[in-house]
Amino acid sequence: MRATKVRASGTVILVLAALLGSAYALGRSLVPEQPQRSNGVTASRNQQHYAEQPPATDFPAPATVSPSRSAEPQQAGGDGDGPDGSWITTGTSRVALTFDDGPDPQYTPQVLALLNEYGVKATFCVVGQNAQEHPDLIQAIVAEGHTVCNHSWSHDVDLGSRSPDTIRADLLRTSDAIRAAVPNARIAYFRQPGGNWTHPVVSVAEELGMTPLHWAVDPTDWQLPGPQKIITTVLTETRPGSIVLMHDAGGDRSGTVAALHYLLPALLDRFQLEALPTGTT
């Protein structure tokens, strides 16, 4: 009798699992495909910056991963501690989330909505071409209290190897595109595409009043590792004062958006999050 009951219970579980699986598959089939939009930015020939994002599934719960707190934040006063004097920390115990390569009409609004939901201010490193094409998104970024950072005109990873005059023209063109959308925008930071810093690009950025902005935590979301990898890397590597690199443009960023649903509450449990200040450099 006991064996019969066990077999019957097992049959019921298998039937329920099959029904749930069928319902999930049906639900997925009813969701329309999201159109892929080009943001006009040229990727490095050695980077998968604009490839397809893996499905946003199998997330770990935020509480399952604890960040390391072993290192004290480095001070970022004056010259930074990153490549060629760029900044890799905030200089305080606060953590700064940064988003590169936008604005993008599909993913930037999703990122902005999540940041607003959790009351988090961040820093957006925008590409000049995209700022020119989507001035409304630049206006939304600034209106919602986030910081704007210059990320070059066309995401030129080799910009640092070009002449100072070429670098200067590129950065000025990008800042002009940002200010065409928001005339009084304070652009206090420059981030070199690919992190390929050189002394000339740092010097020109500082000459134009912009602090060279690098990062301390890189979940390589541009390589499209999927949300779980993004979540795990950020939660395990973020320390007080970290500058965290993510992307809101450059391809399918659904994995990054999905990861933020878990990252924002998890990070807020551990740190204060801030937009990098624009009042001082």
Taking residue 142's Cβ as centre, other Cβ atoms within 10 Å add up to 19
218 flagged as catalytic: no
* Alpha-carbon gap, residue 248 to 48, rounded angstroms: 15
211 forms bridges with which residues in the sheet?
Answer: 189
Catalytic residue among 49, 134, 214, 247: 247
Handedness of CA 84, 202, 199, 170 (dihedral sign): positive
* Alpha-carbon gap, residue 264 to 53, rounded angstroms: 20
Indicate the burial class of 169 (C-beta count within 10 angstroms; 0-12, 13-18, 19 or more).
middle
Looking only at the bridges linking them, the beta strands covering 123-126 and 147-150 are parallel
* Alpha-carbon gap, residue 123 to 222, rounded angstroms: 17
100 flagged as catalytic: yes
Q: Using alpha carbons, select from 90, 134, 118, 190 the residue that is nearest to residue 142.
A: 134
DSSP category for residue 158 = T
Catalytic residue among 49, 84, 100, 151: 100
Active site residues: 100, 247
